[in-house]
Structures are given as C-alpha cells and as structure tokens.
Structure 1
Amino acid sequence: MSSSGDPTEQSAPVVRPEVWETYGPADLSAVPVFAGGFINFGYWKAVDLERPLSQGDRIRSEQDLYRHVLDAAAPGGGRAVEVGCGLGLGCALALEEYGPSVITGVDIHPQQLQRAREANSSLLEAQPARLRFVLGAAEDLPLGDAEFDCLYSVEAAQHFPDLPAFAREAARVLRPGGLVAVTSFFTVGGALEPAERLAGLLDSFASGLDIARPVSRLEEALAEAGFADVRVASIGPQVWPGWDRWLSRLWAPGTWPRNFLAAWEQQILDYYVVTATRP
C-alpha cells in the first residue's frame, strides 16, 4: 500500500481459492494433526522421538517453533507484527514470554481473524492496548511506515504469491534497525524440477495451496528490498523427522502427508529460518 494511504481504509485483500477453503470453511486449525491450534509442523528438538508422542509433545513442538523464530526476531520491549497470524496463539505466546510493548497479528482470512479474536478474547479484554488483529495481505500490509521494531512470520510464506512484494512491505513497516524473521518450507537450491516433483508427492503442492519456490527467492527479495545481513539457516533436522513421527499416528506409510519426509530425504524440500535487518 502507499505510504500516504490510511491503513484503516484498505479494501479487503483477495484470497486465493485454495487458501480461502483451507483456512475458512475447512478450518485447518481444527484438524487433529494440528493439536493446539498453532497450525505449524513443529520444532521437535526438545521432544524425545524414541518414545510414543503425546498431544502435549505436539503442542510443545508448535510452541517451540514460535520460540525459535521469536528468539531471532527479538521482540522484547518493542512493537512486533506477525504476518499470517492464524488463530493468534503465537501472538499470545510472544506477549507472555517475550514482552513486546505491542503486538499486531495480520491475516488475510477474515474467518481466521474472527477465530483469533475468540481464542484470545480474555487477553484482548485484559490488555487491549497491547494486542490487535487486522485483516491484510502479506504483500499489502494495512500498517504504517516504520511502525514496528520486528516482523516475523511462522509457516505462512509458502502461501504468499509474491515474495518480493512481501519483502518490500516488510522493509516499509519496519523502523531502521528493525528485524525480520521468517520460517517456512521452500525448495532446495539445485533440486531438479522441484515443482513437478512436489506436486507428484504432496497434495498441498498439487492443489496450489503451497507454492514451490527456492529459499533463495526470499533471500534475494529481502536483499533487493534493502535489507542487510540476510541469513538463511536450515532447521530441517529439527522439523521433518518429528513431523513424520506425529503424522504416523494418523496416516499410514505411502499416504501423501507422509511424503513430506520423503521430499526432504530426496533433497527437494527443506525447512528454513530466514532473518535480515533493515539498515
């Protein structure tokens, strides 16, 4: 959006049909595999994968993925924004454990925002000045220029149709010295025909819900948007084996959700944390 526009007057964003269905009527947050409502694959480093997994282990993995990203985003004491906030449980975790002065959750789906307000109703009532949820697209954030000290996003970038536009918006809404931290799954650099191979393995890529792009696309977009110290780190070993162990409770080998691990083992797909600083 333009820097001179009023963010409160922004029109409703266009939502891709696959995203609309998955996060609206289908309500992915209610699917048992996403126990706890965080809607991410989890960071399983602190979970013992050699014993039977509990729902508590699953929720811990989802929370720990947020903690891993928030450690990089360093929101303590500043103004933070989460892009693709879903049910807003990560915003609540950030408020409780990292102490930002204010946190804004942005999501493109109006039904998700309604669920976020319901899930966090007590927190919104108790601390209305510290938490808000707003409707907006990653590529056209309904936020003011230089409004935030950090911007983070947890397992949402695989849905963003335009990574360069997202990077430009991140640069616009961050103050000088502000940090961005994004975690999601991307294709591995040098993989042959990754989009076709992923579509053959995983229904979420075949349907267009997830978009196959190399992590270098985001890295380059951030650099082109003016960010400095752009860093990319794989956390695949802490994500894929635990995610597959959890999936094994609900899906048999050979079913498409179990192919996430296969895609990683075949070096087509990996999970990354990408960080950068706005000079």
Structure 2
Amino acid sequence: MLPPIDRLYGEKDLSRNPCFAGGFINFGYWAGIDADGPLREADRVRSQEDLYRLVLRASDIEESSRVVEVGCGRGLGCALALREFGPRSVCGVDAHPAQVERAVRGNSPLPGALEFRLGTAASLPFPDSSADRVYSVEAAQHFPSVTEFANEAARVLTPGGRLAVSTFFARQPGRDAEIHALLQSFEQGLDVAHPISTFTDALTAAGFSEVSVHSIGEHVWAAYDRWVASTVHAEDWPRNFLRSYTDGLLDYYLVTADRPQTD
C-alpha cells in the first residue's frame, strides 16, 4: 500500500476533511441540487449519497443480488445500498484495516446481509462466481492496476453479473506530467492517472461485454469546486480539479460492463 494512502485513510481519516461531509469520501453527483446558492453541509452529504444512488441504479440490483463494493471506506455506501435497494446481501471490501474497522463499528452489521472484509482490488476475498453485482465509487483512481481489478471483478462475478464503476480518469494517455503539476494527490502517488481507454480495454480483455462509458463531469466538477471554495481549502490545490476538467485532462465517468451469461 502506498504511504500517502496509508496515512490519509489511517490516522488522518480523510472523511474528516472539510472537502467531504457525513463520513463519505467522494466528490458527489450534484444533478438536482441547487449549487448556485449557498451550499449547506446537507447538500454536500446528499451529493455524495446521490453518487452512490447513480451507481447503484446503474448496477440494476435485484432482490436476490449478492453485492460487493470495492473500496468501501467507512461503509456508508454499503449501508445505503442495503437500505434503499434491498439486495440479498452487501459486502464492502477495503484495503485499509482502519477503514474496515470503522465500517464495522459504524454500520451495525446484519449477519449475512451486511459485512466488511479486508482486501484489495487486485485480490478480492471471494470465491469465483460468488457475486451478482460488483461496484466501486471513487476508488479506482487509487488502484495500482485497473487491469488487475477488471480481471478480479470478472472472476468473482457470476455469469450475467454486472460491474459498475464511477470515478475520475484521464481523458487521454500521456498527460500524466500535466496532471501531476496541477494536483498534489497525483504528484504524491495517492491518485493514479489511469486513462479511461485503459480501463475499458481491460474490461473487454477480461471478457466483459456491453461496456458502457458515460461522462458525468458536468454534474460533478463545478459544484464540487463551489463547495471546496467555501472551506478552508479555498486557496489550496483541490481547486485545480475543476481546471483539470476544463483543460481536458480529467473527467468523471460512470462505467458499466456485463459478464456474459456464457463465456
């Protein structure tokens, strides 16, 4: 595990950073939220919940679904998935022991319905063909290899299962130096500038079909920047995420892919 990730998700507990709110750690999906007026903490929390709802709707969860979240953090998204979408079970996986401990403490696990495990995107702690849905919300930018993640998701999904991923990717290959110059999280190794094409190619190579990519940046970056401007980070480097979007370096995507019924 990279030291910056270890520090931020361990002793520092990134969820307490004022750029986030309510225990979630994502930039939020702001469609339907009035971001032109004063923003409240309740708006920020809702934006983060709504990003989960967007991904979970795209996952097409059924009552019988066994659901896995990769990079679950404090587990609030897993609890939301179980509460609002009613699957058979939800299991959150995180690479940081402190996050798994927080998730267990904070979400009153229900045996067989909600649980949390230590694991990485490159080595998911599940048998082959044991999950019906796998999703990840703003975590894949930390994965050292999205190819390994694609292969692991394909392995644990049942035939007919679905993968849904939302996070920020580089729009094109070869822009790492520009991204690193703007954003400290990339320069320090916390985030990785995976090109979106690298991920979609990896999904196809792993055997997924119906790979679908949707840009949702228009409903993420500007409103998130307005929120950051209202915090102690108003003059700090996180404001450059919006510039990275307007300069064509990064975008925020929702990606879905299906494991075929027969290989």
Q: TM-score of the superposition, structure 1-length normalised?
A: 0.91
Amino acid at match of 2:153: A
Amino acid at match of 1:131: L
TM-superposed CA distance for 1:76, in Å, is 2.5
Amino acid at match of 1:35: A
- Structure-1 separation of matches of 2:191 and 2:206: 24
- Structure-1 separation of matches of 2:225 and 2:48: 14
What does residue 47 of structure 1 align with?
33
Query: Contact 1:251–1:258 at 8 Å: present in 2 too?
Result: no
- Structure-2 separation of matches of 1:90 and 1:267: 29
What does residue 243 of structure 2 align with?
262
What does residue 62 of structure 1 align with?
48
Query: Contact 1:251–1:257 at 8 Å: present in 2 too?
Result: no
Q: Once the two structures are superposed, what CA deviation does each residue of 1:131-178 show, in whole Å capped at 9, x if it has no partner?
A: 110000100111011111100000000000011111111001000000
- Structure-2 separation of matches of 1:128 and 1:185: 34
What does residue 173 of structure 1 align with?
156
* CA RMSD between the two structures: 1.1
1:128 corresponds, among 83, 93, 111, to 111
* Map 1:231-270 → 2, pairs under 5 A: 231-251=212-232, 255-270=236-251
TM-superposed CA distance for 1:32, in Å, is 2.2
Q: Which runs of 5+ in 2 are unaligned?
A: none
3-state DSSP of counterpart to 2:194? coil
- Structure-2 separation of matches of 1:176 and 1:243: 37
TM-superposed CA distance for 1:119, in Å, is 1.0
3-state DSSP of counterpart to 2:165? strand
What does residue 10 of structure 2 align with?
24
Query: Contact 2:90–2:115 at 8 Å: present in 1 too?
Result: yes
3-state DSSP of counterpart to 1:96? helix
Query: Contact 2:91–2:115 at 8 Å: present in 1 too?
Result: yes
Task: Please say if 1:219 is aligned against 2:205.
Answer: no
3-state DSSP of counterpart to 2:19? helix
Q: Which runs of 5+ in 1 are unaligned?
A: 1-14
Q: TM-score of the superposition, structure 2-length normalised?
A: 0.96
What does residue 4 of structure 1 align with?
none
Q: Once the two structures are superposed, what CA deviation does each residue of 1:71-128 show, in whole Å capped at 9, x if it has no partner?
A: 111223110000000000000000010011011100000000000011102xx1xx22
Runs (4+) of structure 1 exceeding 4 A deviation are 251-254
3-state DSSP of counterpart to 2:25? coil
- Structure-2 separation of matches of 1:177 and 1:72: 14
Equivalenced residue count is: 259
Q: Once the two structures are superposed, what CA deviation does each residue of 1:43-77 show, in whole Å capped at 9, x if it has no partner?
A: 00011011100000000000000000001112231
Q: Once the two structures are superposed, what CA deviation does each residue of 1:222-272 show, in whole Å capped at 9, x if it has no partner?
A: 000000011111000000011001000015665211000001000101000
- Structure-2 separation of matches of 1:38 and 1:108: 16
What does residue 203 of structure 1 align with?
184
- Structure-1 separation of matches of 2:61 and 2:102: 24
Task: Please say if 1:89 is aligned against 2:37.
Answer: no
Query: Contact 2:228–2:234 at 8 Å: present in 1 too?
Result: no
Query: Contact 2:2–2:189 at 8 Å: present in 1 too?
Result: no
- Structure-2 separation of matches of 1:47 and 1:251: 22
